[in-house]
A = this chain, B = another copy of it.
Amino acid sequence: MAHSGRRLTRRTLIGGAAAGAAGAAVPGRATAARKRRQIKVDVAVVGAGLAGLTTARRLVQKGAGSVVVLEARNRVGGRTFTKRKHGTWVDVGGQWVKTKPSGYGPAQDRMTALAKEVGVKTFPTYYEGDDVGYQHGVRTTYPPGPTQELPPGPGLADIAPAIVKLDQMAAEVGSVAPWNAPNAADYDGQTFETWGRANTATEDGRKLIELGAEAILACQPRDISLLYVLFYIASAGTLENLFSTPSGYQESRFVGGSQQVSRKVARALGKRVILNSPVGRIVQKKGHVTVESARAVVTAKQAVVAIAPALTAQIRFDPPLPPLRAQLAQRFPMGSVIKVHAVYDRPFWRDDGLTGFTVSDTGPVRISFDNTPPKGSPGMLVSFLEGDEARRYSNRPPAERRRAVLDSFARYFGPKARNAIDYIEMDWMKEPWSRGCYVGIMPPGVMLSYGRTLRPSIGRVHWAGTETATQGAGYMEGAVRSGERAAAEVMARL
């Protein structure tokens, strides 16, 4: 080792404090280089989303050494982002959590535990009454049954055996090394669309397959491989766990919003977190790694890159990443989603005995939820433009999107839905430090030929982020788990 952990810890505190004061530095500006602080720590973490913050928190808790977290944005939380509006909060990013196991699969227990640690409470997602279905221009209401809250009809009958098959195949494939599964090459050689066409008999069934890809992965079935879909299901336990509200991943929400968790973790980390400091370069030399960002040049024993693989393409690695890891970053794009909220004086659909949950074959928004805060007002509906709808609407004027979204809601909940007092939207494709949501998605061939490069560290560079998780991948749960795994990995090397 080139330097002792003790000495580094002391320097960090100095470096961290100074960096915190250098508020005048403009990130990425040519002149910024002159003002960058030099910091020495044991561990440099790239990204203050849940993965990076969890990594840092666990390292600090175990007394593993000094840590700095470099964040490109002016905020922490990554793909979770909570805004204050109308006397309450609005989660414009990831929001749901599953706190208890169910017949559909495990809870998201590490995220639940982290929230508990920092004192963020959860409450059950509102789900009383009937769901709304909308198919072939006809609105129906139906009580959510044991069969995954899909509207009864030929589509559901068509798709039910497909769901059973997917769960069975996912169990075979697993989430740890899907590339080694017996049928991996066959599954990764086809799109989810190809599989869906071969395993549904009706147009309604095919549309539900499409809706599944959109709602769960923010893309079209053609954009992803069957093997990747099976991995994703395996990482959740079952497909039903992914899409169920009361017994699945949409079971609960965070009081005060999901970003609270990251904010509180960051607060405890204090000056170890440096905002507005995108990382441009990571240099590995004998005995250390240097992480160069807009506001700080951090020299560390180990580095953890806790951002989506697609985003690592914008970091220059010296020496360059090994070929396969470098090519993975080109092959694991982010999904396409615009999250939308309509705000009302009160949740009027509840008066009609409706859950707020919809399943529709007509866009631009198809699946929606009641997102009213626990006190019962204002009323809020949340939905998503996903995949092709997001791509189609992203460049339109906001007024056009608002109108199209409220028209959709009016189809599901009646004309009152047009009287929104506010419309709140977040286009995650426009965020330069996310470039899409919810998660990195894999087209055919990627899991098979590149999947094995997802997690192994490269010298002193380790990988975290929900895309590297084997349980709860794509969710806050996966981010937290990946951070805990990365922290353990790094500790073994310090």
Contacts and interface: CB of A to CB of B under 8 A. Distances in A.
Interface centre among A197, A222, A391, A430 (most CB of B within 10 A): A222
A28 interface: yes
Number of copies: 2
Given A28-B318, A222-B444, 4 more contacts: A188-B222, A313-B330, A327-B336, A327-B429
Interface stretch (A29-37, A111-119, A130-138, A241-249): A29-37
A250 B444 CA distance: 30
Nearest to A309: B330
Which 6 A-B pairs give the minimum distances between C-beta atoms? Answer: A443-B443, A323-B429, A330-B333, A223-B445, A313-B313, A189-B222
Q: Is the interface of A mostly helix, strand, loop or mixed?
A: mixed
Nearest to A392: B449
Interface of A: 28, 30-31, 33-34, 36, 185, 188-191, 193-194, 197, 219-223, 225, 278, 280-281, 292, 297, 310, 313-318, 320, 322-324, 326-327, 329-334, 336, 388, 391, 394-395, 427, 429-430, 432, 435-436, 443-446, 448-450
A326 B223 contact: no
Contacts of A432: 316-317, 320, 326
A327 B316 CA distance: 19
Nearest to A30: B33
A449 B395 CA distance: 13
A327 B436 contact: yes
Contacts of A394: 322-324
B30 A36 contact: yes
A430 B33 contact: no
